[in-house]
Structure 1
Amino acid sequence: MLGKKRMIGKKIDELEIGECYWAAHTIEDKELLLYLGLTDDANPLYIQHDYASQTPYKRPLVPSVMLFGMVSTMVSMHLPGPGSHITSHNMTFPKPVYHYSEVKFNLEVQSIDMPNHLVVLSVTGFDSNGDQVICGSLHVTPPYKPESMTASSLDNFY
């Protein structure tokens, strides 16, 4: 890993209010099974078709936390990007998402708090019918500018 230069995301002074990132994702069985296995979540509503068919949902759902995980990935990889950290979130899931659904997500910078090194992002997500399936906000610390390794590596030498 040493020697490989890694990119970091947008630093706080590079972000602008109104800046957006859009992404679409189709939820496949393999992702659901990986999530359920990693979290040891055995909720029959998420995987058992026979159980789900007897509920008002009529078919298995995608766990809400899995949708939040997709949002978290967008923050970590795109807006602000690598080096970011979500410090708080407020999410609602007004409509269920079903297996094999495509969800279109949007992140938008709502505010920038330079002194506290914090940005607020709004999150929305829509299914293929255009119905909102996720809505909320995130408080995120964007990546910090790394210190130069050479700036301090020679501190003991004059």
Structure 2
Amino acid sequence: MRGLRLNELKIGDKDFFQKTISESDVYLYAGITGDLNSAHINEVEAEKSMFKGRIVHGMLTAGLISTALGMKLPGPGTIYLGQELKFTAPVRFGDTIKAEIEVIEKNEEKNIIKLKTTCTNQDNKIVLTGIATAMPPK
């Protein structure tokens, strides 16, 4: 299975990946990365923070963009080259996050695309915005 090639992509093409983030997801991510920040894993300490409770790792949320790129648009064979990110709101355990991507630029010479990236929660609140750079399969 291969994703879409550059000539098969159009400016404005969109897709998304959606997932409900569980407590297990957060603990698995913390274990894999070693990011054991109390904001993510210690409810007592997290309640004292500005967020008043545990939040999901920002990069776990951003990882959903990688899934959208690698599995949806352009899809399998895509190389994720870079990402500019801005975290705009916390993601909580149990939130359903929709990672949306939209092709905004194509560079035929270099076989590179840029995509607008937006993650929203179940209340349609934007929690992450950015621009991804990727190389579709040849």
Q: Determine if the TM-score, normalized by the shorter chain, exceeds 0.5.
A: yes
Higher relative contact order (CA 8 A, sep 6+): 2
- Structure with the higher fraction of residues in strand conformation: 2
Three-state SS of the structure 2 residue aligned to 1:124 is: strand
Alignment of 1:80 with 2:112, yes or no, is no
Whole-angstrom distance in 2 between the partners of 1:43 and 1:119:
34
Unmatched segments (≥5 aa) in structure 2: none
State whether residues 15 and 101 of structure 2, in contact with CA within 8 Å, keep that contact through their aligned partners in structure 1.
Answer: yes
Per the TM alignment, residue 40 of structure 1 is displaced from its structure 2 partner at its CA by 1.2
Unmatched segments (≥5 aa) in structure 1: 1-6, 145-158
For residue 36 of structure 1, what is the aligned residue in structure 2? 30
Alignment length, in residue pairs?
138
RMSD across aligned positions (CA)? 0.9
Whole-angstrom distance in 1 between the partners of 2:9 and 2:123:
31
Three-state SS of the structure 2 residue aligned to 1:67 is: helix
For residue 104 of structure 2, what is the aligned residue in structure 1? 110
Three-state SS of the structure 2 residue aligned to 1:83 is: coil
- Give the counterpart of 1:64 among 45, 58, 65: 58
Is the radius of gyration larger for structure 1 or structure 2? Answer: 1
Three-state SS of the structure 1 residue aligned to 2:113 is: strand
Whole-angstrom distance in 2 between the partners of 1:118 and 1:79:
13
Matched residues, percent identical?
Answer: 28
Per the TM alignment, residue 23 of structure 1 is displaced from its structure 2 partner at its CA by 2.6
TM-score scaled by structure 2? 0.96
Per the TM alignment, residue 67 of structure 1 is displaced from its structure 2 partner at its CA by 1.0
Three-state SS of the structure 1 residue aligned to 2:109 is: coil
Whole-angstrom distance in 2 between the partners of 1:77 and 1:15:
15
Whole-angstrom distance in 1 between the partners of 2:68 and 2:119:
12
Whole-angstrom distance in 2 between the partners of 1:82 and 1:57:
37
Whole-angstrom distance in 1 between the partners of 2:62 and 2:45:
24
For residue 17 of structure 1, what is the aligned residue in structure 2? 11
Q: Which runs of 4+ in 1 moved over 2 A?
A: none
Whichever residue aligns with residue 52 of structure 1, its letter is A
Whole-angstrom distance in 2 between the partners of 1:64 and 1:23:
16
